[in-house]
Structure 1
Protein backbone atom coordinates (compact mmCIF):
# COMPACT_ATOMS: atom_id res chain seq x y z
CA UNK A 1 0.00 0.00 0.00
CA UNK A 2 1.86 2.99 -1.31
CA UNK A 3 5.19 1.73 0.03
CA UNK A 4 3.92 1.20 3.58
CA UNK A 5 4.28 -2.30 4.95
CA UNK A 6 1.47 -4.20 6.63
CA UNK A 7 3.58 -4.28 9.78
CA UNK A 8 3.82 -0.47 9.83
CA UNK A 9 0.05 -0.16 9.35
CA UNK A 10 -0.46 -2.70 12.16
CA UNK A 11 1.58 -0.52 14.53
CA UNK A 12 -0.15 2.70 13.49
CA UNK A 13 -3.60 1.14 13.86
CA UNK A 14 -2.74 -0.32 17.26
CA UNK A 15 -3.61 -3.87 16.23
CA UNK A 16 -2.19 -6.69 18.34
CA UNK A 17 -1.80 -9.05 15.39
CA UNK A 18 -0.99 -8.74 11.72
CA UNK A 19 -4.00 -10.92 10.86
CA UNK A 20 -6.31 -8.19 12.20
CA UNK A 21 -4.63 -5.60 9.98
CA UNK A 22 -4.75 -7.87 6.96
CA UNK A 23 -8.45 -8.47 7.56
CA UNK A 24 -9.10 -4.75 7.25
CA UNK A 25 -6.88 -4.51 4.18
CA UNK A 26 -9.30 -6.77 2.26
CA UNK A 27 -12.30 -4.44 2.30
CA UNK A 28 -15.06 -4.10 -0.25
CA UNK A 29 -14.05 -2.88 -3.71
CA UNK A 30 -13.30 0.82 -3.73
CA UNK A 31 -12.59 0.98 -0.02
CA UNK A 32 -8.84 0.45 -0.48
CA UNK A 33 -8.70 3.42 -2.87
CA UNK A 34 -10.65 5.53 -0.37
CA UNK A 35 -8.28 4.55 2.44
CA UNK A 36 -5.26 5.42 0.30
CA UNK A 37 -6.78 8.80 -0.58
CA UNK A 38 -7.36 9.50 3.10
CA UNK A 39 -3.79 8.49 3.96
CA UNK A 40 -2.48 10.76 1.21
CA UNK A 41 -4.46 13.76 2.48
CA UNK A 42 -2.33 16.12 4.60
CA UNK A 43 -3.56 16.62 8.14
CA UNK A 44 -3.45 20.06 9.76
CA UNK A 45 -1.88 19.96 13.20
CA UNK A 46 -2.01 22.61 15.88
CA UNK A 47 1.24 24.60 15.94
CA UNK A 48 3.78 22.98 18.20
CA UNK A 49 1.64 19.91 18.89
CA UNK A 50 4.37 17.58 17.65
CA UNK A 51 7.32 19.76 18.49
CA UNK A 52 8.00 20.24 14.78
CA UNK A 53 7.40 23.31 12.70
CA UNK A 54 4.17 22.87 10.71
CA UNK A 55 3.31 24.53 7.39
CA UNK A 56 0.83 27.38 7.55
CA UNK A 57 -2.50 26.90 5.70
Structure 2
Protein backbone atom coordinates (compact mmCIF):
# COMPACT_ATOMS: atom_id res chain seq x y z
CA UNK A 1 0.00 0.00 0.00
CA UNK A 2 1.48 3.31 -1.10
CA UNK A 3 1.77 6.14 1.37
CA UNK A 4 0.16 9.32 0.12
CA UNK A 5 2.13 12.24 1.49
CA UNK A 6 -0.61 14.67 0.50
CA UNK A 7 -3.06 12.83 2.76
CA UNK A 8 -0.64 13.07 5.68
CA UNK A 9 0.02 16.75 4.95
CA UNK A 10 -3.71 17.46 4.86
CA UNK A 11 -4.27 15.60 8.13
CA UNK A 12 -1.44 17.55 9.75
CA UNK A 13 -2.83 20.84 8.45
CA UNK A 14 -6.27 20.01 9.83
CA UNK A 15 -4.84 19.01 13.21
CA UNK A 16 -2.85 22.23 13.44
CA UNK A 17 -5.89 24.36 12.58
CA UNK A 18 -7.90 22.61 15.31
CA UNK A 19 -5.19 23.01 17.98
CA UNK A 20 -5.67 25.34 20.93
CA UNK A 21 -2.30 26.96 20.27
CA UNK A 22 -3.14 27.86 16.67
CA UNK A 23 -6.50 29.29 17.65
CA UNK A 24 -4.95 31.33 20.48
CA UNK A 25 -2.45 32.88 18.07
CA UNK A 26 -5.16 33.49 15.49
CA UNK A 27 -7.36 35.23 18.08
CA UNK A 28 -4.46 37.34 19.38
CA UNK A 29 -3.56 38.40 15.83
CA UNK A 30 -7.18 39.40 15.15
CA UNK A 31 -7.16 41.55 18.29
CA UNK A 32 -3.94 43.26 17.21
CA UNK A 33 -5.37 43.90 13.75
CA UNK A 34 -8.57 45.34 15.25
CA UNK A 35 -6.74 47.98 17.31
CA UNK A 36 -5.10 50.73 15.23
CA UNK A 37 -2.31 51.50 17.72
CA UNK A 38 -1.50 47.83 18.24
CA UNK A 39 -1.43 47.27 14.49
CA UNK A 40 1.00 50.17 13.97
CA UNK A 41 3.31 48.85 16.68
CA UNK A 42 3.14 45.31 15.32
CA UNK A 43 3.84 46.50 11.77
CA UNK A 44 6.82 48.53 12.99
CA UNK A 45 8.11 45.50 14.89
CA UNK A 46 7.77 43.26 11.82
CA UNK A 47 9.61 45.80 9.65
CA UNK A 48 12.44 46.05 12.19
CA UNK A 49 12.58 42.27 12.41
CA UNK A 50 12.79 41.88 8.62
CA UNK A 51 15.52 44.52 8.39
CA UNK A 52 17.49 42.74 11.10
CA UNK A 53 17.14 39.39 9.32
CA UNK A 54 18.29 40.93 6.03
CA UNK A 55 21.38 42.32 7.73
CA UNK A 56 22.08 38.93 9.29
CA UNK A 57 21.87 37.22 5.89
CA UNK A 58 24.22 39.82 4.41
CA UNK A 59 26.70 39.31 7.24
CA UNK A 60 26.23 42.77 8.70
CA UNK A 61 26.09 43.50 12.40
Q: TM-score interval w.r.t. the shorter chain?
A: 0.3 to 0.5
Q: Which has the higher helix share?
A: 2
Higher relative contact order (CA 8 A, sep 6+): 1
